[in-house]
Amino acid sequence: MQKSLLFIPGPVAVSEPVLAAMAKPLINHRGPEYARLLHSIAERMQSIFATTGDVLLLGASGTGSLEAAVTNMFGPGDTLLACPTGVFGERIATIAKMWGCTVEMLETPWGAGVDPEALAARLRADREKKITGILLTHNETSTAVQIDLGAMSRAIADHPAYVVVDSVSGLGASEFKMDEWKLDIVCAASQKALACPPGLAMVAVSPREEDKGERGAALLLRFTEAQGVFRQGRAALDAAAFGRFCTRRRDRPLRKGRAPERLGASRTLHRRASSSY
């Protein structure tokens, strides 16, 4: 097989064991073997999210996980505070608007991270607690900005709004503490730091969100899925594939709150690179 390297935000190049997992024979997608496969992926993902809550698996892109999260959590009558730092932060806000939510934007200049003080001030001003949801992008692919979720958590403090985080390009590459940071829904996908082909999305759900109850059924129904991608996801989580990947990158933390100068801040360039979810 000819080898090549992808120098794009994602999909990333994957290891041969992960590629080979796609070639295994199909199994009964409603049988016990497939159930064990799904449970094993979900259980391993819990440690990566750092949560004791459920991790739900979807045959979808990262955008699919965002849509599932928003449509199950919110609807007409909800007021959401979106905190975009680039294209994908704007995308989840657009999804919420299409679903009938009222979306207020906490504006941040492209190339900068969300200001925790600005977030805290806006939430303090919400004395009637009309804001029911907060939309955050952990690592914004289009601008190379990563926000400090710990600081965001402290800024949100005891405001009752549900916190939904897009960590499609952050999870697995950077420190993540879902439960400690009191995040309610975190969305991720396979084709970034998890080093798997695209097609497998993960939605981690906090116990508080489970108590809220579902608005829809996007996270609950299970259809015939792309078995090969799920098997590749399991292979990518195995020590031989995923363990070495994380070890190689943990000593190279991303710069929080701003884009590296070498990437510039060209909105046109970011728009061109924004189709990798």
Domain assignment of residue 9, yes or no? no
Q: Is 41 inside any structural domain?
A: yes
Whether 6 is covered by a domain: the verdict is no
How far lies 144's CA from each of 60, 104, 178, 189, 270, in Å?
A: 23, 23, 21, 17, 9
- pLDDT greater than 50 at residue 269: no
Q: What whole-number distance in Å separates Cα of residue 255 and Cα of residue 12?
A: 20
> pLDDT tens for residues 8-30?
888 988 888 898 999 999 999 88
Least confident of 24-38, 68-82, 199-213, 224-238: 199-213
Report how many domains make up the chain: 1
Residue 242 lies in a domain: yes
Could you give the angle at the alpha carbon of 249 between the alpha carbons of 244 and 255, nearest 5°? Answer: 165
Q: Which residue has the tokens 């403090």?
A: 157
Mean pLDDT, the chain, as a whole number?
84
For residue 41, name the pLDDT band (cuts at 50, 70, 90). very high
Residue 226 lies in a domain: yes
For 11-15, 99-103, 112-116, 243-247, which range has the lowest pLDDT when averaged over its residues? 243-247
Q: At residue 199, does pLDDT exceed 90?
A: yes
| pLDDT at site 258 | 46
- Band of pLDDT at residue 277, cut at 50, 70 and 90: low
Q: Which CATH number is 47's domain given?
A: 3.40.640.10
**What's the whole-number mean pLDDT along residues 182-208?**
93
Whether residue 263 is predicted with pLDDT greater than 70 in this model: the reply is no
Residue 125 falls within a domain, yes or no? yes
Least confident of 80-94, 156-170, 194-208, 213-227: 213-227
Answer for the pair 168, 277: CB distance below 8 angstroms, yes or no.
yes
Q: Calculate ∠ Cα 192-176-46, nearest 5°.
A: 80
| Residue range of the domain that includes 196 | 16-210+221-272
Q: Does any domain span residue 199? A: yes
In a domain, 11, yes or no: no
pLDDT at 42 over 90: yes
Helix 116-125 and helix 149-156, axial crossing angle in degrees, nearest 10: 20
